Structure 1
Amino acid sequence: MGRRSDHTRDELEELILAAGHALMAEQGFARFSAREVAKRIGYSVGTVYNVFGSADALVLAINTRTFGLWADHLRAALAVAGDDRIRALVEAYFAFAGDHPNLWTAIYDHRLPVGMAMPDSDAEIRGALTGIVSAEVASALGEPADGRAAILARSLIATVHGHCAFALTGSFAVMGEERPMEAALARVNESLAAALQHR
């Protein structure tokens, strides 16, 4: 039987989120279950739905937590980076995905149901990652972090993401690419060099 009064609502939210995040890290999105989260914390699945509203809302919150950890990982890498901050950024992107493959892929495997909007608080946390990249791209170009630098940053994220996804799934290995991170970095540097030439 579930423990109906052991925790406040805020404590329950954190308990569920922590357990859900751990389960996602262990089993991935395809095997994720709100019922298993409830079982791990000793509450009924109804309690999970009462706190988060739905399984989709719980997964959204889990993925937002992953975004926050990912952004922290990039900041930590940049804090000790040498002169080549772009390399540090790309390496950190690959490292986080490689260290947390289930959490990383869950971000992209989950789709919000039609009609379900992402809360502003979640969007802000997720947007921090793009903001970090935009700031580094802007610095490399010697331009403000909005406008052209922000547009280029989004394209470069897509480039690095594609290389990273191919590396994690083994697609690059099948294609004979043995250094996907270096390939991604090369494409990023080429794009930055081209942007500098066309200022």
Structure 2
Amino acid sequence: MGRRSDHSRAELERLIVLEGHKHMAEVGFARFSAREVAKRIGYSVGTLYNVFGTYDRLILAINTRTFELWTEHLRQRLENAGEDRIRALVEGYFSFARDNTNLWMAIYDHHLPSDAVMPDDFGAIRGKLTELVEQEVAAALPEGKREMAPRLARSLIASVHGHCAFALNGTFSLMGVEEPMKLAVARAREAIAASH
């Protein structure tokens, strides 16, 4: 059953998150199994709970890794964006979600209990994605309006997310919308232009 002493706690945490992330990518949140992750790494499922404490914290760790990869994906898109950085952000949002659908959906399918709090370390990592969007929105606004960037960035994330979710789940197709990413880019540009 176990290689119980093969890894330090930090090594175990990393091993569990990496294998859990692979498993989540393969099967999605609804079919995710902590027991399957434990089996894949050669430990008991109890080891996972000894390391993470709860199932929710395990899922938070896996989803936080997705946020890290997503933020890096957006950074790479921005490196090659040229002048149209807002378009690069929107297209990066869509391409990450399309290429990593199970992982992306798991972020939104998992809900913490109402009395649970997001751990600070996970929140800080997840917040880097929003910070990246805020920086780009601020750069697109006139200097005197840049204080609007945090609020506007969050609104734009919500708008782009809705477009992306509708594209992936087939809702836009049922509505006869053929190019949802272009619509999302247009909405983002309109919102930024209206803030000038």
Asked if structure 2 preserves the Cα contact closer than 8 Å seen for 1:143 and 1:149, the reply is: no
Deviation (angstroms), 1:9: 0.9
Correspondence list, 1:30-69, <5 A: 30-69=30-69
2:145 and 2:14 map into 1 onto residues whose CA distance is: 34
Q: Cα deviations across residues 38-84 of structure 1 (Å, max 9, x unaligned)?
A: 01111000001000111111000001110011000001110111111
Q: Cα deviations across residues 142-193 of structure 1 (Å, max 9, x unaligned)?
A: 3389631110110000000000000000110111111000000111111111
In the alignment, what sits opposite 2:134? 134
- The one-letter code matched in structure 1 to 2:141 is L
Asked if structure 1 preserves the Cα contact closer than 8 Å seen for 2:66 and 2:104, the reply is: yes
Cα distance, 1:144–1:104 mapped onto 2, change above 3 Å: farther
- The one-letter code matched in structure 2 to 1:97 is A
Asked if structure 2 preserves the Cα contact closer than 8 Å seen for 1:2 and 1:43, the reply is: yes
Correspondence list, 1:53-132, <5 A: 53-132=53-132
Q: Secondary structure at the match of 1:163?
A: helix
Cα distance, 1:176–1:44 mapped onto 2, change above 3 Å: same
Asked if structure 2 preserves the Cα contact closer than 8 Å seen for 1:78 and 1:85, the reply is: yes
* TM-score calculated relative to the size of structure 2: 0.97
In the alignment, what sits opposite 2:18? 18
In the alignment, what sits opposite 2:160? 160
Unaligned segments of structure 2, at least 5 residues: none
1:67 and 1:144 map into 2 onto residues whose CA distance is: 31
Aligned residues: 196
Aligned residues: percent identity?
66
Q: Secondary structure at the match of 1:81?
A: coil
RMSD between aligned residues: 1.2
* TM-score calculated relative to the size of structure 1: 0.95
- The one-letter code matched in structure 2 to 1:80 is N
2:145 and 2:63 map into 1 onto residues whose CA distance is: 26
Q: Secondary structure at the match of 2:181?
A: helix
Cα distance, 1:174–1:83 mapped onto 2, change above 3 Å: same
Asked if structure 2 preserves the Cα contact closer than 8 Å seen for 1:134 and 1:145, the reply is: no
- The one-letter code matched in structure 1 to 2:192 is L
Asked if structure 2 preserves the Cα contact closer than 8 Å seen for 1:64 and 1:122, the reply is: yes
- The one-letter code matched in structure 1 to 2:106 is A
Q: Secondary structure at the match of 1:127?
A: helix
- The one-letter code matched in structure 2 to 1:137 is V
In the alignment, what sits opposite 1:151? 151
Query: After TM superposition, what 4+ stretches of structure 1 lie above 2 angstroms from structure 2?
Result: 142-147
Cα distance, 1:5–1:144 mapped onto 2, change above 3 Å: farther
Unaligned segments of structure 1, at least 5 residues: none
